[in-house]
Amino acid sequence: MARWFGSGNLSVMTVLPNTPRAVAPDVLRARLDRASTEASSRGVDALLITPSPDFAYLLGYRPPELERLTCLVVPAGGVPRLVAPRLEAPLARHQLGELAGDVEVIAWDETDDPYALVHGLLASDARRVGVQDQMWARFVLRLRAVLDPVELVVASPAMAALRRTKDADEVDRLRAAGAAADRAMAAITGERLSGRSEAEVSRRIKELLLEAGHQTADFAIVGSGPNSASPHHDPGERVIGEDDAIVLDIGGMLDGYASDTTRTAFVGDPPADFRALHEVLHEAQLAACAAVRPGVPAEEIDRAARAVITEAGYGEQFIHRTGHGIGMETHEEPYIVSGNADPLQVGEAFSVEPGIYVEGRWGARIEDIVVVTAEGGERLNRTDRRLYIVE
């Protein structure tokens, strides 16, 4: 069993995985309208969005990613249309539901040229078109050839402007995902970890994430001993033993939104220098979370955490940014890093995860998801942030 330096544990509740909750059609219509407006405001004549989180954000579903082109065309100031292979068109209309009346599905046959169909949907005077950031290269190259001399630019400035600020329903989904991840974290830190391989513990965490309600368990980093100094360690066959620090970084998807949380544990009685390291980290994470409020530049959150760690002499051991945005993807805008002067806005959600890593010896990280509110910031993760002492 685990014990903590700090407040008590959370109870564990098992919930079977469920079907992701649909997004209301009116919300999707509003997103499509905003996407069109954003494109226009940035001098982009249309957005071309292939299956991806951007596609799911706008249409409420994510079709199969195939070698056949499926492409949502969102013109600036026009009506959106979906170009899809004929064999995928029935699924598209079914998934669109009430939205099918707003988005015409244009089916293409195996002998058709879908790129020419896309070209035909653009205004005759189109000069700049935004392509989805994760569009396959084969699609981008074919579109570039067909659309020449139209300039292809990235769609991310327009799409990030839409997605980075979450509405109340999105925050609720993130809150539920965070609570489910907390249940999984509470469960794994209540189990005996010594004598088990990192890979075994990682597999167990993924089971716990699914039991807690996630539809997918996307990652379960378990870095023990010297491996805890590698922030993105791939869990292997190393057996966890006495006097090992253990970094546990876990997350998945629930109702289309991501969870991501990290806690640090130690097998046995931690030596004074590791206790001191973790206490500095705890203070840094508290300082960064306390700095969150609307209007504050994103880099100030990074600066708040880094100042505490640097003052304590661990500055060179903090080797990554303080955080990343989260939503339909685990990593998205805004990024909490030096040089990002964008002011925080109500509804933005991001991780606050400072870490200290002493190469070849040990490491530690504490991570919570925080949402910007009118009053400051709401932490979506509630498990204890102190050092977990485990068997």
Per-residue pLDDT tens digits for 270-313: 999 999 999 999 999 999 999 999 999 999 999 999 999 999 99
Res. 78 pLDDT band, cuts 50 70 90: confident
Residue type, 344: L
- Please tell me whether residue 263 adopts helix, strand or coil conformation: strand
Q: Is residue 16 very low, low, confident or very high in pLDDT (cuts 50, 70, 90)?
A: very low
pLDDT digits (tens, 9 = 90+) for 19-35: 678 899 999 999 999 99
Which of 8-17, 307-316, 359-368 is predicted with the least confidence, judged by mean pLDDT? 8-17
How far is Cα 346 from Cα 363, in angstroms, rounded to an integer? 33
Dihedral (Cα; 77, 78, 82, 86), 10-degree rounding: -160
Q: Taking the CA atoms of the chain, what radius of gyration do you get in angstroms? A: 23
Higher pLDDT among residues 354 and 14, named by residue: 354
How far, in Å, CA of 302 to CA of 335, rounded? 10
Question: For position 341, what pLDDT does the model report?
Answer: 97
State whether residue 207 is helix, strand or coil: helix
Token readout for 168 is 């109340």
Q: What is the pLDDT of residues 159-172, one digit of tens each?
A: 999 999 999 999 99
Distance in angstroms (rounded) separating the CA atoms of residues 38 and 51: 20
CA distance 153 to 129: 6
Identify the residue whose tokens are 């368990």: 217
Q: Are 2 and 388 in contact (CB under 8 A)?
A: yes
Lowest average pLDDT, out of 3-7, 245-249, 261-265, goes to 3-7
Q: Which of 72, 69, 73, 63 is nearest to 137 (CA)?
A: 69
Q: What is the DSSP secondary-structure string of 86-138? A: GGGHHHHHHHHGGGGGTSEEEEE-TTS-HHHHHHHHS-TT--EEEE-TT--HH
pLDDT tens digits for range 306-354: 999 999 999 999 999 999 999 999 999 999 999 999 999 999 999 999 9
Find, among 54, 75, 64, the residue nearest to 125 by Cα.
75
252 touches 220 (CB < 8 A):
no
pLDDT of residue 77: 85
Side-chain-side CA neighbours of 257 within 13 Å: the count stands at 28
Give me the domains of the chain, ranges plus CATH numbers.
25-163 (3.40.350.10), 165-390 (3.90.230.10)
Distances from the Cα of 87 to the Cα of 32, 47, 108, 346, angstroms: 25, 24, 9, 42
Q: What is the pLDDT of residue 350?
A: 98
Whether residue 15 is predicted with pLDDT greater than 80 in this model: the reply is no
Neighbours of 19 (CB within 10 A): 7
What mean pLDDT, rounded, does the chain reach? 94
Q: Positive or negative, the Cα torsion across 324, 330, 331, 332?
A: negative
> Residue 251 contacts by C-beta under 8 Å, 6 or more apart in sequence?
181, 209, 218, 219, 258, 259, 260, 261, 330
- Provide DSSP, 3-55: EESSS-PPPP------PPPPPPHHHHHHHHHHHHHHHHHTT-SEEEE-SSHHH
Q: Please write the tens of the pLDDT for every residue from 49-73.
A: 999 999 999 999 999 888 999 999 9
Assess whether pLDDT exceeds 70 at residue 9.
no
> What pLDDT is recorded for position 64?
87
Helices first, then strands: H and E counts in the chain: 10, 19
Query: What average pLDDT does this structure show over 144-150?
Result: 96
**Is pLDDT of 1 > 50?**
no
